[in-house]
Amino acid sequence: MNDFLDVTLAFNSNLLTTDVFNGQDTGKYKVKAVLDAAGAEALENAGVKLTDYQGKAQRTFSSKFPVAIYGTESDDPIELTEELPYGSKVRVLFKLGAPHPQYGVATYMSAIRVLEIAQPSEGGGVTPDAVDGF
């Protein structure tokens, strides 16, 4: 069963390239999301473990495969030319994995709908012009 949540990106996305951790490619596309109270409660009730940063619940959604990315107005996929900057608002379509005794239930990202692109911070980020068809 697929579900979705409207979230805010806690970091720049990894939707175009896979994430690199400690110099090693993880092979996963991912977004780290800040959740609202209702989203956090729903995930916790499903057995998903969340992290807390400055009083805000966060969760990583990942995929081993590139995910479809949609704009706000269309059901046709769009192409990003740059990663989405942190602070952008997106809707994540995801599927819950099997429970793990140590790590809880995994959240597998299926698609992203871009709701709002944050203004790029100094030194990088994307502008709305960087999204084809947005």
pLDDT per residue as tens digits for the range 31-54? 999 999 999 999 999 999 999 999
pLDDT, position 121: 63
The percentage of the chain sitting over the pLDDT mark of 90, rounded to a whole number, equals 78
Q: SS3 of 20, please?
A: strand
Q: SS3 of 106, please?
A: strand
Residue range 86-109: mean pLDDT, rounded = 94
- C-alpha span between 30 and 32 (Å, rounded): 7
- C-alpha span between 105 and 24 (Å, rounded): 24
- C-alpha span between 28 and 109 (Å, rounded): 10
C-alpha distance from residue 35 to each of 30, 69, 91, 93, 98 (Å): 15, 20, 11, 14, 21
Note the CATH architecture for domain 2-132. Beta Barrel (2.40)
Domain ranges of the chain: 2-132
